[in-house]
A = this chain, B = another copy of it.
């Protein structure tokens, strides 16, 4: 079973501080200093979390030398949401449609794995 970008996305989301940072960045870009302030964390602690988010491509950093603002990147989070969304549809739908749902989900997982290699 091959790893996919979803691995890095979900691993990055497995931390409450990183989820809070993403929620903060959903209001607009922010510098490391601005991010550290409301969370009452040290800059090194925030920087460590930002590196995980950046490696997962959930955020990007600006090029401005002093500030290098962090920005939320929509695509990986959206792809993870789509994976989850397939399960949500599963819960909402009747048992009659289970077979069809799974076929689509497995095909999508396979396509996703191939596409990203």
Chain A residues engaging chain B, CB cutoff 8 angstroms: 1-4, 6-11, 13-17, 19-20, 22-24, 26-28, 39, 41, 74, 77-78, 80-81, 83-85, 87-88, 90-91, 98-99, 101-102, 105-106, 109, 113
Contact = CB atoms under 8 A, between A and B. Distances in A.
Contacts of A13: 6, 10
A6 B23 CA distance: 15
Most chain B CB within 10 A, of A4, A14, A90, is at A14
A19 B39 contact: no
B85 A88 contact: yes
15 contacts: A1-B16, A3-B16, A6-B14, A6-B16, A6-B19, A7-B14, A7-B15, A10-B14, A20-B106, A23-B106, A26-B105, A78-B91, A80-B84, A81-B81, A85-B88
A91 to B, nearest CB: 5
A13 B22 CA distance: 18
Nearest to A49: B1
Contacts of A105: 23, 26
